[in-house]
Amino acid sequence: MVGLCVFSIVNPLLAQAAFFLFPHSIGGMNIMQWFQGLCLPLILAMLLILPAGCVEFSRPFSRLLLAYVIAFGLLHLRLVSGGRVAAETASAERMVYFKISFALLLWYYTSRVAQSYESARRLLQWILLGAFISAVWVLVCYFAGMGGAHYVSAGVKATAGSEGVSGKGVAGFLLPAAGAAVYLALHEGACRWALWASLLLVAVFVTFDRSAQVAFAAGLSWIAAWWLLLARPRPSARILLPLVCVAMLLGAAYYAHYGTEELIARWTHDLDRGEVGSGRGTFYATAWNWFWKDSSTMDFLFGMGYSNIQPLMFTGSGAFRHTHSDLFDMLLIGGMAGMVLYFLMLYTIIALGRDLARGGMAFACLGVLVISFGAMSLLTGLMAFPHTVYAFGAQCICIRVLAVQGAEQPRAVVLGEPGRFGEYPYRQRQIRTRRRRGALRLDPEGSADHWAGWGSQ
User: What's the pLDDT tens digit per position in 93-132?
Assistant: 999 999 999 999 999 999 999 989 999 999 999 999 999 9
Report pLDDT for 433: 44
Contacts of 401 (CB under 8 A, 6+ apart): 114, 115, 116, 117, 119, 120
Quote the pLDDT of residue 277: 59
Position 442 pLDDT exceeds 80: no
Same domain as 259, residue 213: yes
- pLDDT of res. 430: 45
For 418-448, give one letter per residue: b (16+ CB within 10 A) or e: eeeeeebbeeeebeeebeeeeebebbeeeee
Q: Contact, 45 vs 62, CB < 8 A?
A: no
Peptide bond into 233 cis (omega under 30): yes
CB 305 within 8 A of CB 335: no
pLDDT attached to residue 165 = 85
Class of residue 401 by CB neighbours under 10 A (exposed 0-12, middle 13-18, buried 19+): buried
- One domain, residues 316 and 432: no
d(C-alpha 411, C-alpha 423), whole Å: 7
Contacts of residue 288, defined as CB under 8 A and 6 or more positions apart, other chains included, come to 328, 331
Contact by Cβ (8 Å): 17, 136: no
> Does residue 288 sit within a domain?
no
The yes-or-no verdict on residue 342 having pLDDT over 90 is: yes
Strand order of the β-sheet with 411-415 is 421-425, 411-415, 440-442
- Answer with the residue of higher pLDDT: 457 or 359: 359
The answer on 428 and 336 residing in a single domain is no
Quote the DSSP letter at residue 278: G
Distance CA 442, CA 238 (A): 26
- Quick check: is 387 in a domain? yes
What pLDDT does 444 receive?
35
325 phi/psi in degrees, rounded to 5: -160, 125
Do 276 and 340 lie in one domain? The reply is yes
**Are residue 150 and residue 200 in the same domain, yes or no?**
yes
> Is 423 in contact with 447 (CB distance < 8 Å)?
no
When computed from its CA atoms, the radius of gyration of the chain, rounded to whole angstroms, is 24
Distance CA 414, CA 114 (A): 29
**Span 431-447, average pLDDT:** 41
Domain boundary pick from 393, 408, 423: 408
Which range, of 80-94, 376-390, 430-444, averages the lowest pLDDT? Answer: 430-444
Neighbouring residues of 201: CB distance < 8 A, sequence distance ≥ 6: 174, 175, 178, 216, 247
Tally Cβ neighbours within 10 Å of residue 143. Answer: 10
Q: Is the dihedral of CA 245, 248, 254, 257 positive or negative?
A: negative
- Each residue of 181-240: pLDDT tens digit? 999 988 888 888 988 999 999 999 989 888 999 999 999 999 989 988 888 777 766 777
Q: Percent of the chain beyond pLDDT 90?
A: 43
Q: How confident is the model at residue 151 (pLDDT cuts 50, 70, 90)?
A: low
> Is the pLDDT confidence value at 16 over 60?
yes
Residue 418: per-residue pLDDT: 37
What does the DSSP assignment read for 14-43? HHHHHHHT--S-BTTB-HHHHHHHHHHHHH
Rounded average pLDDT over 158-170: 87
**φ, ψ (nearest 5 deg) of residue 29:** -130, 145
Instruction: State the alpha helices, DSSP H only, in 145-240.
Output: 149-152, 167-188, 191-206, 210-229
Distance CA 403, CA 356 (A): 8
pLDDT number for residue 256: 80
Q: Is 124 exposed, middle or buried (0-12, 13-18, 19+ CB in 10 A)?
A: buried
126 and 192 belong to one structural domain: yes
Q: Which domain holds residue 17?
A: 2-283+303-408
Closest C-alpha among 431, 346, 430, 347 to residue 389: 346
CB 266 within 8 A of CB 209: no
pLDDT of residue 438: 47
320 in a structural domain: yes
Q: Is the same domain home to 275 and 379?
A: yes
In a domain, 371, yes or no: yes
Helix (H, G, I), strand (E, B) or coil at 424: strand
E strands, 34-126, in order: none
Res. 28: pLDDT tops 90: no
**Has residue 293 been placed in a domain?**
no
CB 410 within 8 A of CB 447: no
422 and 276 assigned to the same domain:
no
Average pLDDT, the chain: 82
pLDDT at 457 over 50: no
Q: Are residues 445 and 353 in the same domain?
A: no
C-alpha torsion sign, points 381, 385, 388, 389: positive
* 271 pLDDT more than 80: no
Q: Which of 371, 309, 313 is nearest to 346 (CA)?
A: 371
Q: Is residue 43 part of a domain?
A: yes
Count Cα neighbours of 24 within 13 Å in the Cβ-side half-sphere: 2
Enter the pTM of the model.
Answer: 0.85
Confidence of residue 278 (pLDDT cuts 50, 70, 90): low
Res 274 pLDDT > 60: no
Task: Tell me: do 23 and 89 sit in the same domain.
Answer: yes
Number of domains in the chain: 2
- The stretch 343-348 carries a mean pLDDT of 96
Whether residue 403 sits in one domain with residue 424: no
Q: Are 42 and 74 in contact (CB under 8 A)?
A: no
Q: Which range among 23-32, 53-62, 148-157 has the greatest average pLDDT? A: 53-62
Does any domain span residue 194? yes
* Residue 353 DSSP class: G
Distance of CA 206 to the CA centre of its chain: 18
The per-residue pLDDT for 89 is: 83
- Choose the weakest-confidence range: 184-193, 223-232, 276-285, 336-345: 276-285
- Domain membership of residue 295 (yes or no) is no
| 400 and 439, same domain (yes or no) | no
